[in-house]
Structures are given as structure tokens and as C-alpha cells.
Amino acid sequence: MSVFVTGTDTGVGKTAFSCWLLERLREQGVSCAGYKPICCGDREDARRLLAAGSTGLTIEEVNPIWLKLPAAPLTAALAERRELDLVALRGGFVRLSQEVEFVVVEGVGGWIVPITESYFSSDLATDLQLPVLIVVHNRLGCLNHTFLTVRNVEAAGLRCLGVVLNDFGESDEVATKTNADILRRCLSIPVVEGFQPELLSRLR
């Protein structure tokens, strides 16, 4: 089994979570790899995924498309006058999945980020037919973003494995302290606070 990790936005902790997941899988003796189909800006996320996964892979296998502009893939591709090879994105996952037991695919930005004019990050997850984990920055406003993302994942016919609430430091805000409870009341999928080992049981 493999999984698609998406976020409610950019900068919510997808890479940190994906690396944590890869490290836990390796501890259990599972051969695994991170797959960052597209990097925009620097390539640090892909390098972290490469280091966290099983050995013997290259940065090009983990990240087949690297766009230098820190923007949505469509924006960056237009600026660099590049045409993105969607077949190569899907093929990269297939090749990795033949080399390791488990692939953690990290999406770019949020769920519906344009890769081309007619192809979005959500379309890649749908093409790969992977279950989805949603990483959320636990802050004011995340309820709306989380519900929208969960509903769109389910509308695509994909299994939503759960929501990971990621805190960036302590906060005394009422929203931060109550978001997990509200999400659990309104959703029928697991909602965990932080990176919890219980998530691993959902991936088998």
C-alpha cells in the first residue's frame, strides 16, 4: 500500500509528516520511498524525503520535475516556458512502487493546485488511486479548509484515511485548543493531533 499526503495549504507540514512516516516505516522493516512529483522553488523537500526513505534511490527518482520559481506548478512552468510531462509523473510513481513496498507521495501545496490548465494535484492523486492523508496547520480558519479538502477528496472517490493536525508551537487561541474536538464531532474519519503512531495502523 502507498499513500498520498496532501495539505489544506502550503507550509502546513506535509514534508515533516511524510519524513516522519517514512522513518517509522523503516523502523518496522518496510522498504519505502518518498515521492515528490513536483518541487517548486528549492529542492529541499525532495532531499529530506530522499534521506528519510530507504537507501539506493536518487534525487531524480524522488523528484522528477524541479521548477525553480516558488509558485504553483502552472505558474512556474509558464514562467520557465516548460511543458510538464504528466505521463512521466505517473510513471515515476509506478517505477518507485516496483522498487519498494511503500511510497509516500507528497502533493504540491494544497489539494487543488494547478499543474497545467486542466490538470490539478487532485487529479494526480486520482490517477494514482491512492488513499489520502490530510495535513492541517492547527490555527484559526483551518476548519473551513479541512472540511473543504475532506469533501473534495471523498468526491473524487478516494479513501480519506484521516486528518493530521500539526501545531507550530504552543498557542492559547481558543480555535487552536478546540479545532480537534470540532473536527472529530463533524467528521467520520480519524483526527489526530501531531504525528501519532496510531496512524500506522491505518496504512496496512
User: Which of 108, 122, 153 shows the shortest CA–CA distance to 9?
Assistant: 108
Q: Is 177 a catalytic residue?
A: no
Grid-cell match 473524487, residue found: 156
* Cβ-based neighbour number of residue 194 at 10 Å: 13
Q: Is 90 helix (H, G, I), strand (E, B) or coil?
A: helix
3-state secondary structure of 84: coil
In whole angstroms, what is the distance from residue 181 CA to residue 165 CA? 11
Question: Could you give the strand order of the β-sheet that contains 132-137, starting from the edge strand earlier in sequence?
Answer: 32-35, 102-110, 3-7, 132-137, 160-166, 191-193
Q: Which of 14, 36, 68, 177 is catalytic?
A: 36
Amino acid letter at 41?
Answer: G
The cell for 47 is 532531499
Residues paired with residue 133 on neighbouring β-strands, in sequence order: 5, 162
Q: Kindly list the catalytic residues.
A: 36
